[in-house]
Amino acid sequence: MNNFLLEQQQKLERIAILIEFIHSHPESRELKRAMAVKMALEVESYSKINKLLGINKSCITNWNSFSGKIA
């Protein structure tokens, strides 16, 4: 149970960092990346993210795994 709570807390912290980035960064490519990772962390399907943002599923996977290393 503690592991689950820790994972949830880490996910919420990563989402908060991404929200802050989204609000502060005007570059559209970077914004799309942050939005894609945020949506993935919120358990949106990669297919839905792809349809909404036009981002390749493999890119989402790469960005999502990288975001865990910086948060």
The closest of 62, 54, 4, 12 to 29, measured between CA atoms, is 54
pLDDT higher for 61 or 25?
A: 61
Contact 11, 38 (CB under 8 A): no
CA distances from 62 to 6, 30, 52 (A): 23, 14, 18
Terminal Cα distance for the chain, rounded: 22
Match 């945020």 to its residue by tokens: 38
Q: What pLDDT, in 10s, does the model give residues 3-38? A: 888 888 998 998 888 888 877 867 878 888 888 888
Task: Kindly tell me the burial class for residue 4, based on how many C-beta atoms sit within 10 Å of its own C-beta (0-12, 13-18, 19 or more).
Answer: exposed
pTM comes to 0.62
pLDDT value at residue 9: 92
